[in-house]
Amino acid sequence: MKIKLPGRNSAGVVTAFYVRSVSGHDELDIEFLGNQEGKPITLQTNIFINGKGDREQRFHLWFDPTADFHDYTILWNHHQVAFLVDNIPIRMLKNVKGIGYPAGHPLKVVGSLWNASWATDGGATPIDWSYAPFQAQFRDFGVSGCPAAAYADLRGCFSPSYWWNDKQYWRLSKAQLKAYLDTRKRYMSYDYCSDSARYPTPPPECGFQ
């Protein structure tokens, strides 16, 4: 999806692009936490598996997402989940035995713009409605997906005839891995895996990201 975020003062406003299971609750989130004009907008990712979320990772983007459209991508197959910004991977989750993974339900695609009182400064900066209406722009949406209803079970969706199941998409390439590590080092502002107050023992998937 190409997205351009609301400009000016968007504190307390969340623009979201995510996929969510039709049944159960698996979810892969890209959320933009609005801010006061001139302050950076945070991109937040989250992963829900069987209804359990609280896996936030946040980034300060290296560009102004209100000034122009940028590409935001979620790649999901039975080997990895990857979140990409302008084709640069910023987050991934490997499908490792014994670690939770969103692999059991078909997903639907959702775009939204909503009032989130918690989104800016921990809720200290609410929406200023004098700046309404808040408008996010979505365009050039593309989806490649397995028609799950065509199969008696989801194993048919693992077919190598689907491009995203090709071996090159099982893991990041060397160039992608370098960009991934560099981007996280420079721009990641919060990682639940490093939050010892919330998780004295890091969740098991933290070793496979």
Q: What positions carry a catalytic annotation?
A: 27, 31
DSSP 187: H
Amino acid at 35: N
Taking a C-beta distance cutoff of 8 angstroms, is the pair 74, 93 a contact? Answer: no
Phi, psi values for residue 61, rounded to 5°: -70, 155
Burial of 74 (0-12, 13-18, 19+ CB in 10 A): buried
Taking a C-beta distance cutoff of 8 angstroms, is the pair 9, 129 a contact? Answer: no
Residue count of the chain = 209
DSSP 135: -
